[in-house]
Amino acid sequence: MVTNMSPNTPPFAASLAALGWDGTPEQRNPLDRPSYVGPVSFAQLPWVEDVVEIRRRKADIAIIGAPFDDAVTHRPGTRFGPRAIREAQYQTGTLHSLQVGVEPFTALTAVDAGDAVVYPGRLEHGHGAIYRKVREVAETGAIPIVLGGDHSITWPNATAIAEMRWPQRIGILHFDAHADASIDGYGSLHSHGSPMRRLIESGAVLGKNFVQVGLRGYFPDSETLGWMREHGMRSHFMTEIEERGSEAVIATAIAEALDGPDAIWISLDIDVVDPGLAPGTGTPEPGGMLSRELLRGLRQIAAQVPIAGMDIVEVSPPYDWAESTAMIANRAALEVISALAKRKESGETIRWEPSR
């Protein structure tokens, strides 16, 4: 409150008392502010890049950005995906999931661990930076949720987790319109159309534990399909989802991916969703899943099986003026987080606890 005004005090300063502008600021939860206020982090989570601090907090979940799109074959722009996904949320605060019945960020500890530092035009360097970032964060025990970025980032992402957890194995549940198992992309082994092949060739993931959901359209070609069958990959086309329903198909996929492995990595290419709902992607393919089918499926997976981590890829904001693609991606992460929070609330351990 303005009192004892000096000659140098403007006369209108006295009105501040009536307006309350000079009052004591409200003391509120730092999470409880509009989504457009403050630094851009996922769900207004604390931005914690220091892995020592992430470990000290015993974070259950760590969001990681991978702003990388140097491996695309069609429409670029996914380097802007991580920021768009973080921004595509109108709610903040503690949040309450109506579907799961939990306040996720009350039940568990989560941080935004920042971005892998990548540079345009340096493809191998970018993959290396992403690999190191994911491994360093995951070694704290937190479950990484990586926001991409093109789908080539699944190669370093899943490799980091497979290496860290060895000799335990991981399976991959892969939501995508395309198999991403081609031999290369116009000669590049790092193409966003090839990461699944690279993971299987390296031995990081066994082909029989690589399960794909939502394939449709005109890719892969017959050579790639033959390679996939030869290596035991399992695929569930959109026609099967239409005939059996998404819940039944995902139940089958869970059983296949866990045929031996100890945990699941979820790899979500946003183009698994129909482009009428999610147009902002590099390779849109008509005839995809509804967003409600996808979100229900993600809750189904995260509620039932050990989760090693997740990536959400191919969100390309320049092609989506309404931001619906980024909103679906944001909600996909939240659904997995909420399902894991419910499990922690019931007494389960969510963090990775190394056995060695």
Is residue 21 domain-resident? Answer: no
Number of domains the chain contains:
1
pLDDT bracket for residue 1 (50, 70, 90): very low
pLDDT tens per residue, range 274-294: 999 999 998 899 999 999 999
What sections of 101-194 are H helices per DSSP?
Answer: 104-107, 123-138, 154-165
**Torsion sign (Cα): 216, 220, 226, 230:** negative
- The confidence band for 191, taking pLDDT boundaries of 50, 70 and 90, is low
Residues with Cβ within 8 Å of residue 319, at least 6 apart in sequence: 75, 77, 279, 280, 281, 325
Q: How many CB atoms lie within 10 A of CB 34?
A: 10
Tens of pLDDT, residue by residue over 14-72, are 676 677 666 676 777 766 776 677 678 999 899 999 999 999 999 999 999 999 988 78
The DSSP element (H or E) to which 303 belongs, if any, is helix 291-304
Q: Is residue 240 part of a domain?
A: yes
Whether 6 is in a domain gets the answer: no
**What is the pLDDT averaged over residues 182-209?**
75
Residue 13 lies in a domain: no
pLDDT of 304 higher than 50: yes
Residues 238-277: tens digit of each pLDDT: 999 999 999 999 999 999 999 889 999 999 999 999 999 9
Residue-wise pLDDT for 88-140, tens only, equals 988 776 789 999 999 999 999 999 999 999 998 887 888 999 999 999 999 99
What are 139-148's pLDDT values in tens digits?
Answer: 999 999 999 9
Mean predicted confidence (pLDDT) in 304-312: 96
Range of the structural domain that residue 53 is part of: 28-345
pLDDT score for 180: 75
User: Across the beta sheet with 143-148, what order do the strands follow?
Assistant: 110-115, 61-66, 143-148, 307-313, 263-269, 170-175, 210-215, 234-237
Residue 99 pLDDT? 93
Asked if the structure places residue 86 within a domain, the reply is yes
Cβ neighbours for 58, distance < 8 A, ≥ 6 positions apart: 109, 141, 351
Average pLDDT over residues 165-187: 82
Closest CA to 155 of 219, 163, 78: 163
Residues 73-91 have pLDDT tens digits of 878 899 999 999 999 988 7
Q: Which tokens is 257 given?
A: 């991916």
Does some domain include residue 333? Answer: yes
Would you tell me how many other CB atoms lie within 10 Å of the CB of residue 259?
Answer: 14
pLDDT of 2 higher than 50: no
Residue 225's pLDDT band (boundaries 50, 70, 90)? confident
Phi, psi of 347 (to 5 degrees): 110, 0
Residue 188 has pLDDT above 60, yes or no: no
155 lies in a domain? yes
Which of residues 4 and 108 earns the better pLDDT score? Answer: 108
81 alpha carbon, distance to own chain's centre: 10
Structure tokens at 338: 């909420």
Quick check: 184 pLDDT over 70? no
Closest CA relative to residue 350, chosen from 293, 296, 286, 305: 305
Q: Give me the pLDDT at residue 307, please.
A: 97
| Chain mean position to CA 257 | 19
Residue 239: inside a domain:
yes
d(CA 269, CA 285): 11
Q: Which helix (H) or strand (E) holds 147?
A: strand 143-148
* DSSP3 helix / strand / coil % (the chain, rounded to 5): 40, 15, 45
pLDDT over 60 (residue 306): yes
State the CATH number of the domain containing residue 218: 3.40.800.10
Region label for 214, one of left (φ > 0), alpha (ψ between -120 and 50) or beta (otherwise): left
